[in-house]
Structure 1
Amino acid sequence: MSITLIKEHRCHSGRMAYYSHGSDAVNGEMKFGVYFPPQADRGEKLPVLTYLAGLTCNEETFLIKGGAQQYAAKHGLILVAPDTSPRGAGIEGEDDDWDFGTGAGFYINATRGAWAKNYCMESYVTQDLQAVIKDSLNADMDRQGIFGHSMGGHGALTLGFKYPEIYKSISAFAPICSPTFCPWGAKAFSGYIGSDHSVWKQHDAVELIRAMDKSQYKPVLVDQGLADEFLNEQLKPHLLEKVAAETGFPLTLRFQEGYDHSYYFMNTFMEDHIAHHAEALGCS
């Protein structure tokens, strides 16, 4: 799959680059950012860590604010950060709300109405973006991890659970743990895939753990700030904690006193998350 370079920057002895490409999954153009650590310039085939961003974010947000490049450089990890939704699809209402439509793809495949043509972010991340990584990034396709924040934390957990053949490591910052039971999730799922809750459960991390075969278990790291303004109404980490205790799922859920939902919180614990993935992916 061909890609077009938009811009490039030097960063921590490596390279930050932003690209665009045509996507069959969304029937339009998508953008993504990549951090190539210095090891990439030596021709080494490196593991890949894909980051999924939260509501209102784009392909630049994490790579500007997350502070992850220094740790990716240390461990020799390629960072990939796709946009959060299609842009300019021309669907009526796509720009009306900050938590639905543009910037809010929820990493699922829409099946309802006009959204079904463009809002297929699950297929984009697991198929089209995978093709780009394979064809253009000189990556080790057998060593991939996924992580994310908020809506992207939901995406990282659910896609990581559903595609274990792709993702060998998973972590999340303040994820929407059970979108079936929160206003953000109910709004997105109703709009994109309809009202059938049995379908919603196919995109709910808590329900996926409940149905998962123990042979597919892998350690998952989640950090959650206790001063997060969305903690109880939208994120519901207690549901993730509860299902892990019930099933024996290997979850490390860390509650961080005084931290909110912002990138300041993420930046603080980013080193731990990169190290979690580096260990699982066999980095130096």
Structure 2
Amino acid sequence: MKPLARIRTAFTEAGATGWLHAVDIDTGAEIGAGADQRVVTASVHKLCLLLTLHQHAERGALDLTEALDCPPTGRTPGPTGLAAMLDTVRISLRDAAYLMTAVSDNAAAELLLERVGLDAVNTTTRRLGLTATHAPHTFAQTLATIREDAGPAGAQALSDPHVIARLRALDPARTNHSTPRDMTRLLTAIWRDEACTPEHGAAIRRLLGLQVWPHRMASGFPFDDVHVAGKTGTLPTLRNEVGVIEYPDGGRYAIAVFTRAANPAAALPAIDTVIGTTARIAVDALRIR
């Protein structure tokens, strides 16, 4: 079976609709399955914010060691990092960026977004030519739309397919969006030091390499000498990851995988795993070429 057929079959067997793009960073060889489909980015958009933060630092518009206070009241909700803490936290911009990237901390992301502005994030993607990538909402606003659309039943309503169907946060026409191809272009620019200076590019790559989640893209590359750096994104029925796979022979591959499940369950390990499975199929195909 050819690689594209294997990728599509893997998505189907996992119970997901999936879109993927992978590219060899150095040769430009590529493989895609719905590479230009507009998709919801969810927390994958934090990568665009991370780059914007470092571009601001590069221009001297901010100092990454600058400290911010994050009081316990009014924080953007989430299960990790500052979002889950109970007391006032004082943290530097660069350490907030670590939490945003490594554990997808929503509160840390919102702190950084307040510092640089949503318009600046959209300017960053536009200047890079990512014409299909745009964020109309902050992360806090996205979560607010889910609460509003779910109604008085709250999180319990998110198991109802009728509620899922009306969530603005799951509609790429009404929320933060991109395409798999745009995301691999962004990763390629970061890995080639075309998006910012080598110093700041290295800092971004370091943070992406510190992501703690091994159950998605990294699950497809269980080798000590293969390095996986990435950023996940998750919303009801949506599981995404974009990242770069680096082999010991110097091969570098940017990959973006976006999925949507028919099942609204919060835990669907088969779909988490298929992100790694399809990424591995794509990388193997590129390496054979």
Instruction: Name the TM-score, length of structure 2 as normaliser.
Output: 0.28
Higher share in helix: 2
Higher share in strand: 1
Looking at both structures, which has the greater relative contact order when contacts are Cα pairs under 8 Å and sequence separation is at least 6? 2
